[in-house]
């Protein structure tokens, strides 16, 4: 007897059913609530609220037909024809940043990072009553990635043209057409994109299957669904095979699809192959895949990299994951102490110095180049990896130092910085007021982004912005995208960090100590110096407070300073005219 189709669909619906959403729903509070301390407790109300806001941001980034449970009332259905050019349904998913393109490479990194975090620190979501929204966010993202993988050796890596999209500034009802769909396939491969998406599917399969790494962590968020985990794992396996066996060979994905290189060009694929093999080894209980990942580490000389962890380079996360799995299952053949040594060489370079990163005067971990266009992202990703690694550290002093360093980076992002600004939209009265977001701005004049309208039309609650410059200055200018743009991957490390703090921290986030007007008193004069603006490239400008302090100095020690300056000028002139002096 054949089972009626309706019963099959009902059974499938129940098997894939997500965690029920709260009724009434969680909604962000006015920013003024972020200036009010809460009662010391676990879970801390302010950390729980922050975790909720960070997830809410992803709901504001949704593309496609919005569900009846949509909480972001100023958002509309959008981009409902995506995929029609290839006769597929590619609607849905998330817009990658402050614009309207959809990009698989950074999205897969984002969900990989969030699923990894929710596997280790998932009980933080449970305590904050945010697990339903975590499940909702992940499924909205993963279901689109499933759509983007319609065949074993095909993966759509971008929807919409970068140049067309960048020429539009306006709301989600008039997104310009056409929106072409770009793919990699067997003859036009993209090893990095295929392996990176495989890693995302495998990491999230682990979460939905409740595959814990260690009792040293809180354990996964309570959203287990064996059927969904199996579906995700099947896509992970297919994509990993595609990445390693495409008839067109192995290549970075912009080699096959030059269009993607305009926004998210990849620097290599060895790191994606290694991290995909690692997450798959845990998902399938495969020692051979673990050994394969170790082979990639050697083959691609990944040990020589000491830079940032981000959507392009996953290498710094590898020793941590190698160590987690080796400790959890020694039969895989990994040596936990060896990977401890590798991880601690990298982390020591951050915490004790010697690596390519340095601390700004205000205390922000900064990497020349990588931090210039989004300074908080390298810092928060480092803090997330450090905090995850703490239970694995070889000495108590390292455990303490790593934890303290990570907390300092989090506190910087949450307002303990020279600007006294928490860099999360809507968290506090001193939060950024002008995030670079076409949909939230309410404007439609691309030649006058900053003042049309003068005030952002909608509050993009929970959006982590790019961050301050290397002088710790933040100008809060809407068109200054290196400082004010939001992005999917910017929120990912802060989500995991907030979940960690919900679990363990009775004290409020730092920003609750900041009263309205704190940032205004510190806001720098002049203009930024970055990829969006060159007006301020003559050097850092002092805030009004700094100018006042500088003005007081001559009144106190003016004669001494003037005398020293005259002496130095005479010495300099003599040196300039007499090479033997």
**CA-based nearest residue to 429, from 46, 32, 30, 28:** 32
pLDDT at 11 > cutoff 90:
no
DSSP state of 429: T
| Average pLDDT in the chain | 91
Q: 369 exposed, middle or buried (CB, 10 Å; 0-12, 13-18, 19+)?
A: exposed
Picking from 179-193, 263-277, 336-350, 565-579, which range would have the lowest pLDDT averaged per residue? 565-579
Picking from 377-391, 471-485, 566-580, which range would have the lowest pLDDT averaged per residue? 566-580
pLDDT band at 216 (very low <50, low <70, confident <90, very high): confident
**CA-based nearest residue to 311, from 510, 69, 148, 491:** 491
What pLDDT does residue 551 have? Answer: 41
Instruction: Output the CA torsion sign for 420, 426, 427, 428.
Output: positive
pLDDT at 520 > cutoff 60:
yes
Determine the Cα–Cα distance for residues 485 and 478; give it in Å rounded to an integer.
8
| Core vs surface per residue 518-543: b (16+ CB within 10 A) or e | bbeebbbeebbbbebbeebeeebbeb
The answer to whether the CB of 340 falls within 8 A of the CB of 394 is: yes
Determine the Cα–Cα distance for residues 565 and 182; give it in Å rounded to an integer.
62
What pLDDT does residue 40 have? Answer: 82
Selected catalytic residue, list 485, 489, 505, 508: 485
**CA-based nearest residue to 30, from 514, 424, 459, 415:** 459
pLDDT at 454 > cutoff 50:
yes
What pLDDT does residue 540 have? Answer: 55
The answer to whether the CB of 156 falls within 8 A of the CB of 90 is: yes
Number of residues written out for the chain: 581
* pLDDT average, residue stretch 66-89: 98
The percentage of the chain sitting over the pLDDT mark of 70, rounded to a whole number, equals 90
* pLDDT average, residue stretch 457-464: 98
Picking from 15-24, 66-75, 117-126, 163-172, which range would have the lowest pLDDT averaged per residue? 15-24
Q: How far is CA 556 from the centre of its chain?
A: 47
| Core vs surface per residue 425-452: b (16+ CB within 10 A) or e | bbbbbbbbbbbbbbbbbbbeeeeebeee
C-beta atoms surrounding 186 within 10 Å: 14
For 309-354, the pLDDT digits (tens) are 999 999 999 999 999 999 999 999 999 999 999 999 999 999 999 9
Q: And the tokens for 384? A: 């997330």
* pLDDT average, residue stretch 268-280: 98
* pLDDT average, residue stretch 277-296: 98
Active site residue 489: no
Q: And the tokens for 1? A: 């007897």
Q: And the tokens for 157? A: 């890596």
Selected catalytic residue, list 96, 469, 476, 505: 476
Helix axis angle for 488-504 and 376-389, nearest 10°, is 40
Active site residue 476: yes
Determine the Cα–Cα distance for residues 220 and 211; give it in Å rounded to an integer.
8
What pLDDT does residue 237 have? Answer: 98
For 97-150, the pLDDT digits (tens) are 999 999 999 999 999 999 999 999 999 999 999 999 999 999 999 999 999 999
For 261-270, the pLDDT digits (tens) are 999 999 999 9
Q: Is the pTM of this model over 0.85?
A: yes
DSSP state of 7: H
pLDDT at 76 > cutoff 90:
yes
Q: Cβ neighbours of residue 75 under 8 Å, at least 6 residues apart?
A: 59, 60, 62, 66, 172, 439
For residue 151, the SS3 value is strand
């Amino acid at each position: 007897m054949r089972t009626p189709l309706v019963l099959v669909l009902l059974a499938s619906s129940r098997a894939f059913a997500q965690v029920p959403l709260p009724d009434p729903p969680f909604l962000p509070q006015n920013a003024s609530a972020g200036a009010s301390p809460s009662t010391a407790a676990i879970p801390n109300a302010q950390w729980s609220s922050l975790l909720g806001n960070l997830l809410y941001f992803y709901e504001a980034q949704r593309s496609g037909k919005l569900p009846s449970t949509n909480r972001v009332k100023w958002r509309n259905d959008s981009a409902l024809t995506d995929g029609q050019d290839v006769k597929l349904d590619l609607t849905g998913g998330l817009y990658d940043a402050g614009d309207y393109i959809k990009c698989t490479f950074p999205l897969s990194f984002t969900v990989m990072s969030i699923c990894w975090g929710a596997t280790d620190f998932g009980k933080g979501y449970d305590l904050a009553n945010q697990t339903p929204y975590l499940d909702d966010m992940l499924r909205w993202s993963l279901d689109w990635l499933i759509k983007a993988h319609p065949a074993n050796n095909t993966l759509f890596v971008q929807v919409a043209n970068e140049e067309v999209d960048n020429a539009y500034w306006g709301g989600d009802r008039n997104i310009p057409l056409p929106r072409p769909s770009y793919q990699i396939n067997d003859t036009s491969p993209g090893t990095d994109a295929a392996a990176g998406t495989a890693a995302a599917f495998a990491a999230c399969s682990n979460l939905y299957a409740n595959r814990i790494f260690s009792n040293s962590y809180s354990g996964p968020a309570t959203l287990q669904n064996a059927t969904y985990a199996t579906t995700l794992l099947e896509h992970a396996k297919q994509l990993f095979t595609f990445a390693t066996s495409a008839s067109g060979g192995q290549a970075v994905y912009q080699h096959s699809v030059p269009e993607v290189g305009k926004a998210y060009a990849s620097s290599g694929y060895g790191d994606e192959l290694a991290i995909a093999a690692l997450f798959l080894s845990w998902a399938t209980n495969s020692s051979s895949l673990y050994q394969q990942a170790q082979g990639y580490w050697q083959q691609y000389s990944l040990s020589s990299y000491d830079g940032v962890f981000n959507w392009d380079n996953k290498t710094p996360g590898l020793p941590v994951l190698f160590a987690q799995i080796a400790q959890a299952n020694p039969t895989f053949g990994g040596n936990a102490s060896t990977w401890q040594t590798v991880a601690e060489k990298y982390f020591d370079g951050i915490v004790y110095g010697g690596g390519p990163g340095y601390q700004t005067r205000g205390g922000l971990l900064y990497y020349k180049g990588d931090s210039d266009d989004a300074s908080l992202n390298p810092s928060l990703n480092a803090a997330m990896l450090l905090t995850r690694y703490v239970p694995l550290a070889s000495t108590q002093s390292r455990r303490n130092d790593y934890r303290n360093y990570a907390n300092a980076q989090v506190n910087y992002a949450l307002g303990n910085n020279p600007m006294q600004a928490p860099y999360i939209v809507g968290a506090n009265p001193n939060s950024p007021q002008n995030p670079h977001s076409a949909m939230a701005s309410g404007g439609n004049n691309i030649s006058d982004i900053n003042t049309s309208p003068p005030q952002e039309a909608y509050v993009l609650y929970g959006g982590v912005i790019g961050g301050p410059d290397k002088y710790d200055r933040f100008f809060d200018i809407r068109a200054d995208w290196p400082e004010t743009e939001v992005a999917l991957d910017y929120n990912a490390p802060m989500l995991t960090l907030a979940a960690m703090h919900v679990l363990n921290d009775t004290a409020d986030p730092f920003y609750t100590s900041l009263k309205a007007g704190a940032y205004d008193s510190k806001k720098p004069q002049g203009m930024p110096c970055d990829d969006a603006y060159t007006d301020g490239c003559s050097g850092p400008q002092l805030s009004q407070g700094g100018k006042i302090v500088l003005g007081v100095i001559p009144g106190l020690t003016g004669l001494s300073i003037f005398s020293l300056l005259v002496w130095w000028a005479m010495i300099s002139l003599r040196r300039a005219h007499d090479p033997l002096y």
